[in-house]
């Protein structure tokens, strides 16, 4: 009898603890702007990610780079095996840009995607985005060329976009070397990398090529001159990527304020958006960059360009690089891969 009572009391205690935990987590998901995904809410609360992002504003750039690398490793999954992964140099004109080339299984020649990593033009590398590049290659059946462009503040604007465009020229000229079809090229990137991907499309249009089949942008930053959208007002603090952090990135990448309105620095502000590649833009519901990504799609549509955006509710900036944490990551890369296959003709 005594043992039975102990079991009953224990069961009740466990049930009460679970209920209390559920109610606490649910309270964390409730915000003035809608409901956070429970996993995102727990991540923000238990890791103090938002507070850490504020604290990093005073750290040396090298330390912030190291921390981003650690964060990326903690939320990315195990490396996806591919037919081949190798580091190379993309040489075009006077530039020699390090790249990592991901080749999927199959015969080829493959279509090819140039991928530009995020990190505010200051952080990030082909290593921090290795998992995402592998995923895109695997799901799309395309070779992915991940570009190690030069970072600010050591190399401010326009170094990154110059490297990004040089890599595109190299890919176009080296189909045989890469086992790719130079007539089937797309660009992609997340955050600052999405900015570079959009800017490369403008640059290719303005300079007469190479032709780009699709721009697949993941929560891109597209306006470095006007940080005043509704999403900045709602999510500028407390959701990991905050307004103060972006302001710091912009100061380092674009120290000359006049450059911030340039088309290749702020693609949303281009004089016009005609004759650009079709676009898919992935946005996060709780992200300061959400509105400018969606505004870019509207500008493309108004210019006669086929473009659409997909907003993932309840998630924050960076969610696509967190497959270990969030199933929405897999759904987003499925969408990107499907759009790539469509752009490449199936």
Catalytically active residues are 191, 287, 317
* b (16+ CB within 10 A) / e for 77-105: eeebebeebeeeebebeebebbbbbbbbe
What's the CA dihedral at 317, 223, 254, 201 to 10 degrees? 90
Distance CA(216)–CA(186), nearest Å, equals 8
In which region does residue 141 sit, left (phi positive, over 0), alpha (psi from -120 to 50) or beta (all else)? Answer: left
Element (H, E) at 313: strand 307-316
DSSP 58: G
DSSP secondary structure, 10-30, as one string:
HHHHHHHHHHHHHHHHHHHHE
307 vs 309: CA distance, rounded Å = 7
Angle, alpha carbons 141-145-149 (nearest 5°): 155
Tokens coding 324: 């270990």
Task: Please report, for the chain, how many H helices and E strands are present, in that order.
Answer: 12, 10
């Amino acid at each position: 009898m005594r043992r039975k009572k102990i079991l009953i009391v224990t069961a009740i205690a466990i049930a009460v603890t679970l209920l209390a935990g559920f109610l606490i987590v649910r309270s964390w998901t409730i915000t003035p702007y809608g409901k956070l995904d429970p996993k995102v809410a727990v991540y923000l609360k238990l890791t103090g990610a938002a507070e850490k992002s504020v604290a990093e504003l005073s750290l040396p750039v090298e330390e912030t780079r190291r921390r981003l690398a650690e964060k990326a490793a903690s939320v990315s999954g195990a490396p996806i095996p591919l037919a081949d992964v190798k580091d190379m140099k993309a040489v075009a004109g006077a530039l020699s840009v390090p790249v990592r080339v991901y080749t999927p299984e199959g015969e080829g020649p493959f279509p090819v995607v140039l991928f530009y990593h995020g990190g505010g033009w200051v952080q990030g590398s082909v290593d921090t985005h290795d998992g995402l590049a592998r995923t895109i290659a695997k799901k799309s059946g395309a070779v992915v060329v991940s570009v190690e462009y030069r970072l600010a503040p050591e190399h401010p604007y326009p170094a990154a976009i110059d490297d990004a465009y040089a890599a595109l020229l190299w890919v176009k000229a080296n189909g045989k070397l890469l086992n790719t079809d130079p007539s089937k090229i797309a660009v992609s990137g997340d955050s600052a990398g999405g900015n570079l991907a959009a800017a490369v499309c403008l640059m290719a249009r303005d300079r007469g090529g190479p032709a780009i089949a699709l721009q697949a942008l993941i929560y891109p930053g597209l306006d470095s001159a006007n940080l005043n959208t509704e999403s900045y007002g709602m999510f500028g603090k407390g959701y990991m990527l905050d307004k103060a952090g972006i302001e710091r990135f912009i100061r380092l990448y674009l120290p000359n304020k006049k450059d911030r309105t340039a088309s290749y620095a702020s693609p949303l502000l281009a004089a016009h958006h005609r004759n650009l590649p079709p676009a898919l833009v992935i946005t996060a519901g709780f992200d300061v960059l959400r509105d400018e990504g969606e505004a870019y799609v509207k500008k493309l549509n108004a210019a006669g360009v086929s473009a659409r955006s997909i907003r993932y509710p309840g998630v924050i900036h960076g969610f696509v690089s967190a497959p270990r944490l969030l199933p929405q990551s897999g759904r987003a890369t499925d969408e990107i891969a499907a759009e790539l296959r469509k752009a490449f003709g199936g």
